Structure 1
Amino acid sequence: MTTIRIRLTRRAPRIPQVQLVILAAGHGRRFGGLKQLAPVGPNGEAIMDYTALAAQSCGFSGVVLVVRPEIEDEVVSHVRRRWPSELAVDYARQPAVPGTAQAVLCTRPLISGPFGVANADDLYGEAALRLIVEHTGGPLAGADGAGLAAARSTMTPHLLVAYQLARTVLSGATVTRGLCEVGPDHLLERVVEHKVHLHDDGTFDATPLPGATAHEIGPTPERVLLSGRELVSMNLWGFDPRLFDELHEAVDTFDPTTAARPELLLPDVVA
């Protein structure tokens, strides 16, 4: 009798490819130009150039750049000159409707799986971007020594990579920061935008902005004193593609004439 030996092998789990959406459609009115292309590096690099290189190093499969039609040619020309040719880049045109919720929604035809979202004019660092890639295929990380923390949304398995407030403010100028309210088990409950001011002793004054959140914050915003260890959002997210259904519904029902502000932001939908 012939014996046939069968070897059973276990296929390694497939880790989904992750794309990074970079929001580069801003007008830069206060800046006075295209802030997303402003040279900041020793060789004229823009901030989003560093983000693209870090994304490639972390294992993102490609980048989707959200642009306005009137700046698309300039952005495309910059990317072709500056970015590695092996990095896959797609472009999504944001319609006239403002807001980061609409900006992300317009990338839907180009997204094939889990994805991250980042601003073009914020410098995040490789460690922060790596948290997004790891989140799609492994356990969620908590706070680390770099002042980063990962907080899940209460909706579906989405992720916000938050920063300690003190690590995001470099001077005494008053700036806007989204303070994160995080519940048990690193669950993100909401993000409330505040005007914050750094004192010489390292503490901060913070006052919530009117209309800073879809949630009620009271008729008279109260100034609070912060230590600098509080977590803030710099708009660095990791999303499951199921988010698009939520975004579509939120954008479709949003009425800027009755809302507290004329644009719908990602935290209004997610948190």
Structure 2
Amino acid sequence: MKKPTLLILAAGMASRYGSMKQIDAFGPNGETIIDYSIYDAIRAGFGKVIFIIKEEFEENFKSIFEPKLKNKVKTDYVFQDFNLKKYDIEREVERAKPWGTAHAVLAAKDAINEPFCVINADDYYGYDSFKKMADFLTKEVSDNSFALMGFRADKTLSDYGSVSRGVCKVDDEGNMTEIVERTKVYFKDVDDEKKIFFEENDQEVELPLDARVSMNFWGFNPAIFNDTLDLFKKFVEENHTNPKAEFFIPLVADELIKENKATFKTIPTSEKWFGVTYKEDKPIVQESISKLIQEGVYPENLWK
């Protein structure tokens, strides 16, 4: 069986961060967050890394990652762009930004012929997540059985403000029945106890600490591309006049679940997530990586 592929979403504009956070340095020797994800993925058994980027980023990415990854893992690059004709969509649409994460995945349809997982470039997921996903992709994935890495809600929040999270409902068999995007999720001290709440219709709703949430870590096989393409064509037709409409992976997952076309196993992990949205997040990420190095999780020089 082929080793699974790691597909990294790295075409984002990073407008709130102010620069290309995908290739910003966080480790002691200039390591990016992507470096730690790739390092964990190789250890977990992944055989190839594909970067989804804007075409103008190509040389920059190659100059950073190719020297590190040579003879360690196969690499490839695909481009997320505005060309709809390559998807047999003739409609002309004016947009300032790409169509979203599911469209980014679709950009890799001609580059992948094996089971694969999708991650964000600017999120840290931990080795346990990659090992469990690799096991799923080598033993369980099928044309209608996919997976989502389910992080504990209390392991994914910031102490510095609210965040958006895809909150999963999971049945007794461990399969996701629904994923709902909550745009304002936060910690709150109640009677000297830290709890989690989200806001809905101007009301505070408590979320269990161990509720499973999505951090955009998905497991698929190539069958997902045909379903995604069909849904993308429909999405473009319905949203061609909305320049801000985005075609997200959870939208695809939710639609396939509702139509009984696929199941999504929610794989639990206790790894603590961290990532960057704002410049203010950088020292927190650097501190987290430094602690992992001190604990022996990673070597100080990752690729030496």
**Normalization by structure 2: what TM-score?**
0.72
Question: What is the letter of the counterpart of residue 174 of structure 1?
Answer: S
Residue aligning to 1:3: none
- Unaligned 5+ segments in structure 1 are 1-14, 141-151, 209-219
The aligned amino acid for 1:74 is N
Partner of 2:58: 72
CA apart distance, 1:38: 1.3
SS, match of residue 101 in structure 1: helix
Structure 1 equivalent of residue 4 of structure 2: 18
2:179 pairs with 1:187: no
1:125 partnered with 2:126 = yes
Matches within 5 A, 1:92-131: 92-96=78-82, 97-131=98-132
Deviation digits for residues 83-142 of structure 1 (CA, Å, limit 9, x no counterpart) = 3433100001001332111100110111011111111110011110111111123369xx
Task: Assess if the C-alpha contact under 8 Å between 1:53 and 1:83 holds in 2.
Answer: no
The answer to which of 67-76 and 241-250 deviates more is: 67-76
Determine if the alignment matches structure 1 residue 199 to structure 2 residue 185.
no
C-alpha change, 1:181 and 1:101, in structure 2 (3 Å) is same
d(CA) in 2 for partners of 1:185, 1:165: 20
Q: Give the counterpart letter for 1:263 in structure 2.
A: E
Q: Residues of 1 paired with 2:180 and 2:244: CA distance?
A: 14
| Greater Cα offset, 46-55 or 197-206 | 197-206
- Separation in structure 2 between the aligned mates of residue 158 and residue 260 of structure 1, nearest angstrom: 30
Give the partner amino acid of 1:133: A
Match of 1:241 among 211, 218, 222: 222
One-letter identity of the residue aligned with 2:212: L
Q: Deviations over 1:11-36 (max 9, x none)?
A: xxxx3321110001011000001111
CA deviation profile, 1:53-90 (whole Å, cap 9, x unmatched): 11111111101100011222211111124334331000
Task: Give the drift of 1:258.
Answer: 6.7
Q: Secondary structure at the match of 1:54?
A: helix
Structure of higher CA gyration radius: 1
Q: Which residue of 1 aligns with 2:257?
A: none
Q: Which has the higher mean CA deviation after the structures are superposed, 244-253 or 155-164?
A: 155-164
1:36 to 5, 22, 28: 22
Distance 1:262 1:158, change over 3 A: same
The structure where helix makes up a greater share of residues is 2
Q: CA deviation at 1:221?
A: 6.5
- Assess if the C-alpha contact under 8 Å between 1:202 and 1:227 holds in 2: no
Measure, in 2, the Cα distance between the counterparts of 1:221 and 1:182. Answer: 26
SS of 2:194's partner is coil
Q: Of 189, 207, 214, which aligns to 1:226? A: 207
- Write the letter of the residue equivalent to 2:218: W
Structure 2 residue runs of 5 or longer lacking an equivalent are 83-97, 255-304
Distance 1:239 1:259, change over 3 A: farther
In the alignment, which residue of structure 2 is the partner of 1:160? 148
- Equivalences, count: 233
Q: Is the 8 A contact 2:3 2:138 kept in 1?
A: no
1:175 aligns with 2:163: yes
Question: After the TM superposition, which parts of structure 1 deviate over 6 Å for at least 4 consecutive aligned residues?
Answer: none
Relative to structure 1, the CA distance from residue 114 to residue 251 in structure 2 (aligned partners, 3 Å threshold; closer, same or farther) is: same
Residue 183 of structure 1 deviates from its aligned partner by 1.9
User: Distance between the aligned counterparts of 1:223 and 1:74, measured in 2?
Assistant: 44
TM-score by length of 1: 0.80
Q: State whether residues 4 and 138 of structure 2, in contact with CA within 8 Å, keep that contact through their aligned partners in structure 1.
A: no
8 Å CA contact 2:10–2:53 kept in 1: the answer is yes
Task: Sort the Cα spacing of 1:192 and 1:259 in 2 relative to 1 into closer, same or farther, 3 A.
Answer: farther
* Whole-Å separation in 1 of the counterparts to 2:12 and 2:49: 17
Percent identity between matched residues is 31
Q: 1:133 to 1:204 in 2, by over 3 A?
A: same
Residue 41 of structure 1: how far off its partner (Å): 0.9
CA contact (8 A) 2:4 2:48 kept: yes
| 2:255 is the counterpart of 1:267 | no
Higher relative contact order, structure no. (Cα contacts within 8 Å, ≥ 6 residues apart): 2
